[in-house]
Amino acid sequence: MKKRTKWAIVTLMAILLPFCGLFTEAVHAASVNLHFGSEQYEHRYDESFLIGVYIEADENIGNYEVVLSYDENYITYVSGAEAGGEGTVILRGNLNGDYKKYLISFRAIAGGETNIEVASANINTSNSERINVSVLPSAPINLTHNPEALLSSIKINGVELEEFDSNVFNYDIKIPYTEQLDIDAIGRNGVTTEVLSDNLSVGNNMVYIEAEGSGSSRNIYKLNVIMEEENVTEEKLPDSTNYEVASDEKADFSENSMNENGAVQIEDGPIDDGDFLLSLFNGKIRLNILQILIILLIISLALLVVLLILSFYTEKKKRKRRKRKKGRKRRKSTRSGSGKTSVPNIQEIKPRNKPVDISLKDRSLEERPLEEDEDFKLYGIEFICDDFDDDFDDEYEEPVIAIDDVSMLFRVATQNVSGLKEFIIQKLKGKITYREFYALNHVSIDIYKGEVVGIIGTNGSGKSTLLKIVSGALKPTGGKVIVDKSKVQLLTLGTGFDMELTAKENVYLNGAIIGYSKEFIDSVYDDIVAFAELEDFMEEKVKNFSSGMVSRLGFAIATIGDAPEILILDEVLSVGDEFFRKKSLARVKEMIHGGSTVLLVSHSMQTILDNCSRVAWIEKGVLKMYGEPNKVCKAYQDMGNTET
Amino acid sequence: MNIKQYFFVLRELTGREIKRKYARSYLGILWSVLNPLLTMAVLSMIFSTMFKRSIENFPIYLLTGQILWQMFTGATNSAMDALVDNKSLLTKVKLPKQIFPLSRIYTALVNLGYSLVAYICMLMLFRIKPSITMIIVPVVIVLVLLFSIGIGYILSIVYVFFADIKYFYSIILTLWMYMSALFYPVENLNPQMQMIVNANPVYCYIRAMRGGVMYGQWPDTILWIKMICWAVGMLLLGLFVFSANENKIMQKL
């Protein structure tokens, strides 16, 4: 088994590792930042100027070759690198470093707008691995026009271009399909013009119009002629005057203008078409999605708030209603003058010198929602008189556990509401009602040192609730328990047992929860195992245990500790087979005789009669009887008999 | 019972959580290492081939955010049902109830520990140079932990009264994840979005950790203030909400 796991890990790693390698290759490949010194250039039509080209890499670069391309109509290369002919400049060499800077000198020869770009980049690392340059930069060059070489108008197929402005150099023109495109440019006085264009085709056609003035001054106008497809334009052909013009002075700066708007900050280059996320976050879609998101969020938040308010409101209303009811009831009962016991009376009945907590009197309504219900209190309690005689000798002794007027109210929704929709519907209809029931209804018991008190009662009558309250795990909704909590130990079986863990792990888990320290468990571990008689099963998962084995283990863990001063046993004595029961009974007796005060819940009358010095009978949350074991047990059994 | 005992209980409970979580799986705890690695591999693949990203060392960028995010969601999600799951224990044992959500958060921390093993391997694989600023990592983790404890306490209480919060929270987490810039650089967003993301506490922690590990930077003062305020504020709020409702829970459970 172990070996198999090991092999599985090894194979998995083996599969995984090349994967990782793949990613290092693909993703971590050295990167190069290739860029110009400025984002754009502004120069005069006849100036010489420098353009900086920077190669910055995060690794050492070996061979490299970068080709710049520019438009020969506007600028000419002067110096700084290697001329490649046909409007190209080549930067190449063998660099042993990660940074290289070129300053390339150009001279403007015409006014207009052009740009310079990196046509190709072939860069290798010093280990002659090729570095991918994903972004080839480009920078616009704005050359101010030469005032001596301006055009006055442009005619396309004989029609004058309406939007023409002699100071605007770039135009986008849309024309219907034609076989022949005639462009006439008329220069201002003394300006000669020349129209340069490729073969005309459907789509984009670049047309350059060179205007040459006196003293070889030149400007270049750029027309981007977009010709529509043939079939579309056939009908329109007769009036070919029908073209649209968009003056597009800033076409080349569109990226930068986007930058200014803050929509995208392009550091690494223009947006990839495939870059879905970016377009999601920049484009129009973003706004819509954001709006939808916000609306959704607001709706759900509003829903939550409404629900919370609703539940608060109904709670309040209900409380008020309850209060009113109580008030009515109380008035009625006082008017009728029924002889039911009221608070002061009870305290008279109770055994003496019990410490009375003053704060009891001014408990807030919230803590005790049914304070006015005092008139229901304790009816049916019979205090047995010999009780008082028994306790006579320890008249001045303080009780170890003083359970003082303790109530525990549980609220259970009568309708099982599952889901939000139903919840709202029910809430609106006011149909969500809670059944309130008292697991304990004003119970008072005093227990003195050394007593063994048994608690009996039918299932669900509140015995365990009482134990939990005494041990401090539950807080009562009314009343008070005065007890030194540090001395109390509640033994329940298998608290926090986890079926998926082994028995050994459960011993530690359970021990920790009960309150043992790690050192203590270490030292008594063998005793626990021996007592539970589970020596061969400790490494096995508890889910494979029989229920008897689980409870044996639980008992062994629970009782291994030193007998605490106050011991609370919840149904721990009816565990396992007959032999184990005897053994466990012996152990509990030992603990009891060690002088502990014991609270004991059991359904076995024999256990109660054998061990207890006092018995409390709790029925439906009400203390029915408290006193001598024989009498209480007999009364309890009588009740059972009469009912059946 | 003293602090030491509580810590022992916490450790035992955490041990139980972890053992139980992987009880039926073949590779067991190894999944804590594999999970972030594989997630990173998948996401790197998607984002480096499908959407070309221009982040240096993208897998590390991703993984840094990923492990913190995993811890945060793991801690808060599991702390949410801590009280309900341990119902039977809660009513029988007189342990402080805070210990149950805390054990879930501790579990998330242990998981993070295993993920860190994977993280360190990746750092070495990508030849990230060790720098002094890497000592920011434990500090950030502690702060995220405090923040998660606060949220976990609040959620665990709310969950007792209102179980629908579980589904709602998972939606919120999805939104939150996209607002945490796990796999895209914040600079790509427009200013309003950047503001929202920068206010996001989880992103603050991720940013500080990325700065420390990948770029050798200390967080600036504002970031420090933001991180500490979020952590301490959320912790105090969580503790307050928890102790205010501690007794109401017992009735509801």
| Of A283-292, A393-402, A498-507, B169-178, the least confident | A283-292
Give A491-527 as a 3 state SS string.
ECCCCCCCCCCEHHHHHHHHHHHHCCCHHHHHHHHHH
Q: Does ipTM exceed 0.85?
A: no
A113 and A39 within one domain: yes
Pairing status of strand A88-108 against strand A75-79: antiparallel
Average pLDDT estimate for A211-229: 78
Q: Is A274 left (phi over 0), alpha (psi -120 to 50) or beta?
A: alpha
A569 domain-assigned: yes
From the list B106, B72, B90, the residue with the least C-alpha distance to B234 is: B72
Q: Is the pLDDT of residue A330 over 60?
A: no
Same domain, A517 and A472: no
Residue of B41, B89, B168 with shortest CB distance to A513: B89
Give the C-alpha separation, B151 to B145, whole Å. Answer: 10
* Burial class of residue A94, CB neighbours in 10 A (0-12, 13-18, 19+): exposed
Range among A319-333, A537-551, A561-575 rated most confident: A537-551
**Angle at the Cα of B19 (from B13 to B23), degrees rounded to 5?**
145
Query: Does B36 lie at the interface with A, CB-CB under 8 angstroms?
Result: no
**Domain count of the fold of chain A:** 4
Residue A97 sits in the same domain as residue A114: yes
Residue tagged 């009588």 (tokens): A638
CATH number of domain containing A588? 3.40.50.300
Angle at A569 between CA A565 and CA A573, to 5 degrees: 130
User: Shortest CB distance from B164 goes to which of A293, A420, A518?
Assistant: A420
User: Looking at the predicted structure, is the pLDDT value of residue A572 above 90?
Assistant: no
Q: What is the pLDDT of residues A190-206, one digit of tens each?
A: 777 777 776 677 777 77
Backbone angles phi, psi at A208, to 5 degrees: -105, 135
Q: Are residues A124 and A188 in the same domain?
A: no
**What does the pLDDT profile of chain B (253 residues) look like in tens digits?**
577 888 888 888 888 888 877 777 777 777 877 887 888 778 777 776 666 556 777 788 888 888 899 999 999 999 998 888 887 777 777 778 888 899 999 999 988 988 888 888 888 888 888 888 888 999 999 999 999 999 999 999 989 888 888 888 998 999 899 888 887 888 777 888 888 888 899 999 999 999 998 888 888 888 899 899 999 999 999 999 998 888 777 766 6
Residue B94 contacts A where some CB pair is shorter than 8 Å? yes
Average pLDDT (A100-118) is 83
**Contact A504/B at CB under 8 A:** no
Cα–Cα distance, A531 to A286 (Å, whole number)? 69
Question: Is a pLDDT exceeding 70 seen at residue A51?
Answer: yes
In chain B, what residues touch A19 (CB-CB under 8 Å)? 41
Distance from CA of B229 to the nearest CA of A (A): 24
Enumerate the residues of chain B whose CB falls inside 8 A of the CB of residue A422.
Answer: none
Tokens matching residue A381: 């309690």
Subunit contact B91:A16, Cβ cutoff 8 A: no
* Exposed e or buried b per residue across A327-346, where buried means at least 16 C-beta atoms within 10 angstroms of its C-beta: eeeeeebeeeeeeebeeeeb
State whether A448 and A583 are in the same domain. yes
Note whether A2 contacts B: Cβ–Cβ < 8 A.
no
pLDDT, tens digit (0-9, with 9 covering 90-100), for A416-436? 555 566 666 666 666 556 667
* Comparison of pLDDT for B209 and A472, the residue scoring more: B209
Q: At A223, is the secondary structure helix, strand, or coil?
A: strand
- As a whole number of angstroms, the distance between CA A616 and CA A273 comes to 82
Structural domain for A609, as ranges: 349-404+440-484+565-643
Say whether both A579 and A479 belong to one domain.
Answer: yes
Residue type, A592: I
Ramachandran bin of A136, using left for φ above 0, alpha for ψ from -120 to 50, beta for the remaining angles: beta
Rounded Cα distance, B213 and B181, in Å: 17
CB-CB neighbours of A595 under 10 Å? 10
Confidence band for A460, pLDDT divided at 50, 70 and 90: confident
Q: Which of residues 81-100 of A touch B (CB under 8 A)?
A: none
Q: Which residue of A has its CA nearest to B185?
A: A278
Q: Is A272's pLDDT higher than 50?
A: no
Q: What is the pLDDT of residue A449?
A: 81
Q: B4 at the A interface (CB within 8 A)?
A: yes
Question: Among candidates A87, A13, A98, A39, which has minimal Cα distance to A64?
Answer: A98
Residue A3 vs residue B186, higher pLDDT: B186
**What backbone torsions phi and psi does residue A554 show, to the nearest 5 degrees?**
-60, -45
**Are B190 and A515 in contact (CB < 8 Å)?**
no
- Mutation pick from B2, B9, B56 vs chain A, by most beta carbons of A within 10 Å, is B9
β-partners of residue A154 are A185
Say what the pLDDT of residue A241 is: 44
Write the CB contacts of A148 (distance below 8 Å, at least 6 apart in sequence): A191, A213, A214, A215, A217
- Under an 8 A CB cutoff, do A281 and B188 touch? yes
Residue B86: the pLDDT is 82
Look at residue A44 and tell me if it is in a domain. Answer: yes
CA distance B157 to chain A (A): 14
Return d(Cα A277, Cα B30) in angstroms, integer.
Answer: 33
B54 touches chain A (CB under 8 A): yes
Last residue of a domain, one of A534, A564, A594: A564
pLDDT tier, A390 (very low <50, low <70, confident <90, very high otherwise): very low
Highest mean pLDDT among A24-28, A37-41, B43-47, B50-54: A37-41
In a domain, A39, yes or no: yes
β-pairing, A112-125 vs A48-69, is antiparallel
Tokens found for residue A356: 């009375």
Place of tokens 């203008």: A257
Interchain pair B44, A23: CB under 8 A = yes
- Give the model's pLDDT for residue A420: 60
Looking at residues A4-31, what average pLDDT do you find?
54
Joined together, the tokens standing for residue B197 give 């993301």
- Single out the residue in A117, A144, A171 at which a domain terminates: A144
Q: In this model, does residue A344 exceed pLDDT 60?
A: no
Contact (Cβ atoms closer than 8 angstroms) between residue A51 and residue A36? yes
Task: Pinpoint the alpha helices (H) of A91-183.
Answer: none
A166 with A244, same domain: the answer is yes
Portion 537-566 of A in contact with B at CB < 8 A: none
Which residues 184-223 of chain B have a CB within 8 Å of chain A?
184, 187-191, 193
**CB-based contacts of A444: which residues, under 8 Å, 6+ apart?**
A346, A350, A403, A404, A405, A406, A479, A623
CA A171/CA A358 separation, integer angstroms: 95
- Residues from chain A contacting residue B54 (CB–CB below 8 Å): 134-135, 267-269
Q: Are the C-beta atoms of residues A442 and A478 closer than 8 Å to each other?
A: yes
Q: Give the one of B20, B30, B52 whose C-beta lies nearest to A134's C-beta.
A: B52
Distance of alpha carbon A289 from alpha carbon A572, whole angstroms: 61
Hey, what amino acid is at A94?
Answer: N
At A204 the three-state DSSP class reads strand
At A127-151, the pLDDT tens digits run 777 777 777 788 888 887 777 777 7
Task: Report d(CA A98, CA A100) in Å as an integer.
Answer: 7
Please give the residue of chain B at the shortest CA–CA distance from A274.
B51
Instruction: Give the pLDDT of residue B140.
Output: 92
Q: Tell whether the model's pLDDT for residue A233 goes beyond 60.
A: no
Identify which has the larger pLDDT, A597 or A561: A597
Q: For residue B89, give the nearest of A471, A495, A517 by CB distance.
A: A495
pLDDT above 80 for A90: yes
pLDDT at residue A154 greater than cutoff 50: yes
The residue from A210, A225, A255 where one domain ends is: A255
* Residue A419 counted as domain residue: no
Mean pLDDT within A365-384: 38
Residues A473, A601 within the same domain: yes
Tally of CB atoms within 10 A around A252: 18
Q: A554 to chain B, minimum CA–CA distance in Å?
A: 14
- Evaluate if residue A240 carries a pLDDT over 50: no
The minimum CA-CA distance between A625 and chain B, rounded to whole Å, is 26
Q: Which of B8, B86, B249 to mutate to test the interface with A (most CBs of A within 10 A)?
A: B8
Nearest residue to A113 (alpha-carbon basis) of A240, A225, A245, A253? A253
- Chain A residue numbers with beta carbons less than 8 Å from the beta carbon of B19 are 500-501, 505
Amino acid making up residue B38: L
pLDDT at A512: 83
Residue B36 to residue B40: CA distance in whole angstroms: 6
User: Could you give the angle at which helices B191-199 and B201-210 cross, rounded to 10 degrees?
Assistant: 90
Instruction: Residue A495: list chain B partners with CB under 8 A.
Output: 88-89, 92-93
Contact status of A262 with chain B (Cβ, < 8 Å): yes
CA distances from A471 to A49, A533, B90, B94 (A): 90, 29, 12, 7
Domain limits of chain B?
A: 3-252
Q: With 80 as the cut, is the pLDDT of residue A239 above it? A: no
Q: Which chain A residues are closer than 8 Å to B41 by Cβ?
A: 16, 19-20, 23
DSSP B104-115: HHHHHHHHHHHH
> What per-residue confidence (pLDDT) applies to A417?
56
Q: How does pLDDT run across A166-185, given as a tens digit for each residue?
A: 777 778 777 777 777 777 77
Whole-angstrom Cα Rg for chain B? 19
- Check whether residue A238 and residue A163 sit in a common domain: yes
Q: Are residues A538 and A451 in the same domain?
A: no
One domain for residues A370 and A516: no
Q: What is the pLDDT of residue A369?
A: 40
- Which residue in chain B is spatially nearest to A1 when comparing CA positions? B26
> Do B181 and B209 touch, CB atoms closer than 8 A?
no
Has residue A193 been placed in a domain?
yes
Q: Which residues of B touch A275 (CB under 8 A)?
A: 51-52
**Cα angle for residues A561, A562, A563 (degrees, 5° grid):** 110
DSSP annotation string for A453-496: EEEE-STTSSHHHHHHHHHTSS--SEEEEE--GGGEEEE-TTTT
Check whether residue A105 and residue A244 sit in a common domain: no
Tell me if A305 is assigned to some domain: no
Average pLDDT over residues A373-387: 38
Cα–Cα distance between A402 and A392 in angstroms, integer? 17
Say whether pLDDT at A269 is over 80.
no
Residue A373 pLDDT grade (very low, low, confident, very high; cuts 50, 70, 90):
very low
Encoding tokens for residue A61?
A: 């670069």
Interchain CB distance below 8 Å, A286 and B51: no
